[in-house]
Amino acid sequence: MTSLFATPRRGLAAGALALGFACSGALAEEARQKVVLNADPLFSFGSAELGPAGRAALDDFVRGVEVMITGPIRLVGHADRLGSEARNQVLSQERADAVKAYLVSRGIGETRMRVESKGSAQPATQAHACGGRSSERTIACLQPDRRVAVETAGTRLLKLSHAPETP
């Protein structure tokens, strides 16, 4: 007989069973959710104002978090290399702050979030992949660098079709 307690992939499932969640038709599963939200759908180039597509992406994140018992939420703003380092640092902070404000407006507790900004220090693109000038082509190529990473970890409760049989 195989026990759920001996199954390493189950994570917190054993604890959920011990607490009686299975009796009510639920099972806990450990989940780590990392979402990287590109800034172009969230923000216009050079802007920290959330657009409709950005709000929709964040609404999806909130719906996912609502079915989890989560720990802290980490928000990390990034910018591309265009513009000064000082401006990029400010812009990445403003974008992360805008995401935080929106999440607070959707019911996520402000104290659960930690905001960081990296400016252009951690690009997703290769150093010389996009050319050097600020052209439409370069702006489009550097799009992966304009992002806000949203990360949380927690426990998700899953519904079982039936509770385990008791001997």
| CATH code, domain with 76 | 3.30.1330.60
First to last CA, the chain: 12
Confidence grade of residue 22 (pLDDT, cut at 50, 70, 90): very low
Q: Which is more confidently placed, 35 or 24?
A: 35
Q: How far is residue 140 from each of residues 38, 93, 134, 136, measured CA to CA in Å?
A: 12, 21, 10, 6
Instruction: Give the pTM.
Output: 0.71
Taking phi over 0 as left and psi of -120 to 50 as alpha, with beta for the rest, 110 belongs to alpha
| Residue 15 maps to a domain | no
pLDDT above 60: residue 9: no
Q: Would you list the DSSP string of 108-133?
A: --GGGEEEEE-TTSS-SS-TTTT-SS
| Residue 82 maps to a domain | yes
Could you identify the residue written with the tokens 């939200």?
A: 37
How many domains, in total, are found in the chain?
1
| Residue 81 maps to a domain | yes
Q: Which is more confidently placed, 136 or 16?
A: 136
Task: Give residue 115's pLDDT.
Answer: 97
| Residue 167 maps to a domain | no
| Residue 159 maps to a domain | no
Task: Give residue 27's pLDDT.
Answer: 52
| Residue 13 maps to a domain | no
Indicate the SS3 state at residue 167.
coil
